[in-house]
């Protein structure tokens, strides 16, 4: 019994000690926590609170330049659906180095099976054209809405849209004219208000080492500003197909989407149009190229004054690379050695032969091939010029009449491609809403078991208003803005009441098949753009 009693006392003592230890731990923990909280709430005395100063502008030349040009630089998107008859020509198109085109060079032909427009319902339209989109930049040069950009940004476009920074509206733009040889295009946009044009500089005054700034929309990031220096002038890109392009080279960051945007001097004047990049990765690698603004201005002035670009030629070809040893061996220190004479061209008619050396034009020495091309191309077509040549060591003057370059070299791919585009009539369609419609006969309505009258959408123009809002071939339009449609005349009457900026809602039937239950009643709607009604 004594042993059992001793054991009970020992257990009681152990339990008491355990409870005491736990209570002590809780109290100590509380004291430590309370002490830490007290220190935290009291803060520290040897630190000074940070303050945010009043906002101030850290003004630099680049800051002012960016603010000055921001209203003038635009973001351009162009969309197009290759037509079957244009496919082979477009597949030969050489993609520009700065062409932000996400679709590659693959095109889809469009086929419709059978004569019955309802064949294959429901579903249908599986082989409709695949719309491609390209984007780039541009800048306003006239308050009336004229914009300069690269031709490759808008070439083959069914629809061109322009967006200004800080303005959510996308304005439809019209292609006024273009020049594939210099990769320049002129657009016009109607905004209903005067625009702020960029200041034009003189690219002849640009020097290697000058500061320069590029503004554009690389990868769609609007109004992006980058700075660098002019790293070279008169740069020829190896493999380019246009003889007239000699670029300003810059290390200002230029990426896909910058195409068509301005290259500026430190005074905010445009000295070039950002056109291409040298890259192995598809992005910026330190070398970008801008077309000198003096050349672009000449193209622009011709387009707005005459509607086209006319460029003089004498019809010769020569070795592009300068070779002082060749000239020295032939007894001259400057000039252009003729390597080929174009059949039927002005030079052949004037008696110019291969191996002749052209040393002067109208009495002024010709330095090299670039000098000759620039001066001849700027000479009005039809003008008689005097060429001074060296032939077999003898000097003589030859009269030659300047001809149109596109006619003299009509077999060049550039001019063939441009002419074929004009012949195919690439101007925007005049179709209302961008759809072709036709009435439904009573027999068709009965066969299709249509639940109500309507008109059939027989075709949707790619890139049109109708295409944008989702109308499809084989849809049945039954009402527009709540007004019933039973005939083509009904559609035309409703159209006549609409103007750009109006909202338009179509109620359509889509699907079809066995019985009216297969037809789906849907609404498609949008706001009429400026150039379509």
Residue indicated by tokens 């009402």: 479
At the top level of CATH, which class does the domain 69-309 belong to? Answer: mainly beta
Residue tagged active-site, from 178, 203, 224, 259: 259
Q: Domain locations in the chain? A: 69-309, 312-410, 435-527
Annotated catalytic residue 242 = no
SS3 (DSSP) at 476: strand
Query: For residue 503, what are the β-bridge partners?
Result: 527
User: Is the per-residue pLDDT at 386 higher than 90?
Assistant: yes
> Residue 263's beta-bridge partner residues?
214, 272
pLDDT higher than threshold 90 for residue 139: yes
Assign domain 312-410 to its CATH architecture. Answer: Roll (2.30)
Model confidence, pTM:
0.61
pLDDT at 121 over 80: no
The pairing of strands 199-200 and 269-277 is parallel
C-alpha angle with apex 240: 239 to 241, nearest 5 degrees?
115
Provide the residue count of the chain.
533
Q: Is the pLDDT of residue 103 over 80?
A: no
Give per-residue pLDDT as tens, 53-94: 877 665 577 888 888 889 999 999 988 655 444 433 333 333
Percent of the chain residues topping a pLDDT of 90: 33
Q: Which residue has the tokens 């049109």?
A: 464
CB-based contact 303:310 (threshold 8 Å)? no
Residue 303 has a pLDDT of 94
- Structure token digits, residue 85: 């008859």
- Rounded CA gap, 470 and 101, in Å? 23
Say if CB 455 and CB 491 are below 8 A apart.
Answer: yes
Query: Which pLDDT does position 11 carry in this prediction?
Result: 54
Of 78, 135, 152, 178, the catalytic one is 152
Class of domain 435-527: mainly beta
H or E stretch at 422: helix 413-423
| CA separation, residue 120 to residues 78, 114, 116, 512 (Å) | 32, 9, 9, 10
Say if residue 108's pLDDT is above 50.
no
Residue tagged active-site, from 183, 251, 475, 490:
183
What is the separation, in whole angstroms, between the first and last Cα of the chain? 112
Residue 14 has pLDDT above 70, yes or no: no
> What average pLDDT is seen over the chain?
77
Q: Among residues 367, 366, 370, 93, which one has the least CA distance to residue 235? A: 370
Whether the domain at 312-410 and the domain at 435-527 fall into the same CATH topology: yes
Cβ(230)–Cβ(212) under 8 Å?
yes
Are 360 and 389 in contact, with CB atoms under 8 Å apart?
A: no
pLDDT for residue 364: 95
Which pLDDT tens digit goes with each residue over 496-528? 888 888 889 899 998 865 444 578 888 888 888
Q: Which residue has the higher pLDDT, 104 or 384?
A: 384
Tell me the range of 122-131, 306-315, 383-392, 468-477 where mean pLDDT is highest. 383-392
Q: What is the dihedral of CA 449, 450, 456, 459, to 10 degrees?
A: -70
Residue 152 is among the residues annotated as catalytic for this protein: yes
């Amino acid at each position: 019994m004594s042993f059992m009693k001793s054991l009970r006392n020992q257990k009681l003592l152990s339990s008491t000690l355990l409870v005491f230890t736990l209570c002590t731990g809780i109290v100590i923990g509380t004291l430590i926590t309370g002490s830490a909280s007290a220190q935290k709430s009291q803060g520290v005395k040897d630190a000074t609170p940070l303050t945010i100063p009043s906002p101030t502008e850290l003004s630099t030349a680049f800051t002012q330049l960016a603010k000055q040009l921001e209203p003038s630089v635009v973001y351009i998107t162009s969309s197009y659906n290759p037509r079957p008859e244009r496919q082979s020509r477009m597949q030969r198109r050489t993609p520009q180095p700065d062409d932000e085109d996400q679709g590659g060079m693959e095109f889809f032909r469009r086929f419709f099976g059978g004569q019955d427009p309802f064949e294959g319902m429901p579903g249908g339209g599986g082989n409709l054209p695949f719309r491609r989109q390209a984007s780039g930049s541009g800048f306003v040069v006239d308050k009336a809405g004229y914009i300069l950009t690269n031709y490759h940004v808008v070439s083959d476009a069914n629809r061109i849209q322009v967006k200004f920074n800080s303005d959510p509206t996308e304005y439809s733009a019209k292609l006024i004219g273009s020049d594939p040889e210099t990769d320049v295009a002129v657009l016009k946009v109607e905004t209903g208000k005067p625009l702020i044009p960029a200041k034009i500089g003189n690219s002849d005054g640009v020097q290697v080492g000058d500061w320069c700034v590029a503004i554009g929309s690389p990868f769609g990031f609007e109004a992006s500003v980058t700075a660098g220096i002019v790293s070279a002038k008169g740069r020829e890109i190896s493999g380019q197909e246009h003889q007239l392009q000699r670029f300003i080279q810059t290390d200002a960051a230029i990426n896909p989407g910058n195409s068509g945007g301005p290259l500026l001097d430190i005074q905010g004047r445009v000295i070039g149009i950002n056109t291409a990049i040298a890259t192995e990765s598809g992005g910026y690698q330190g070398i970008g190229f801008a077309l000198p603004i003096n050349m672009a201005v000449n193209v622009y002035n011709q387009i707005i004054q005459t509607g086209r670009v006319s460029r003089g030629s004498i019809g010769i070809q020569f070795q592009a690379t300068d070779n002082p040893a060749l000239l020295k061996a032939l007894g001259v220190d400057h000039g252009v050695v003729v390597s080929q004479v174009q059949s039927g061209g002005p030079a052949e008619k004037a008696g110019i032969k291969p191996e002749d050396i052209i040393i002067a034009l109208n009495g002024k020495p010709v330095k090299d091939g670039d000098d000759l091309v620039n001066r001849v191309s700027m000479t009005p077509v039809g003008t008689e010029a005097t060429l001074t040549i060296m032939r077999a060591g003898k000097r003589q003057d030859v009269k030659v009449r300047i001809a149109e370059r596109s006619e003299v070299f009509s077999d060049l791919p550039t001019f063939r491609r441009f002419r074929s585009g004009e012949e195919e009539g690439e101007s925007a369609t005049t179709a209302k809403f961008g759809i072709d419609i036709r009435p439904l006969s009573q027999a068709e309505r009965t066969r299709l078991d249509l639940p109500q009258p309507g008109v059939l959408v027989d075709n949707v123009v790619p890139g049109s208003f109708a295409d944008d809002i989702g109308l499809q071939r084989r849809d049945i339009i039954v009402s527009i803005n709540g007004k019933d449609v039973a005939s083509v005349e009904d559609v035309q009457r409703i159209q006549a009441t609409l103007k750009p900026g109006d909202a338009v809602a179509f109620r359509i039937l889509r699907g079809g098949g066995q019985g009216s239950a297969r037809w789906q009643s849907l609404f498609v709607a949008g706001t009429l753009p400026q150039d379509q009604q």
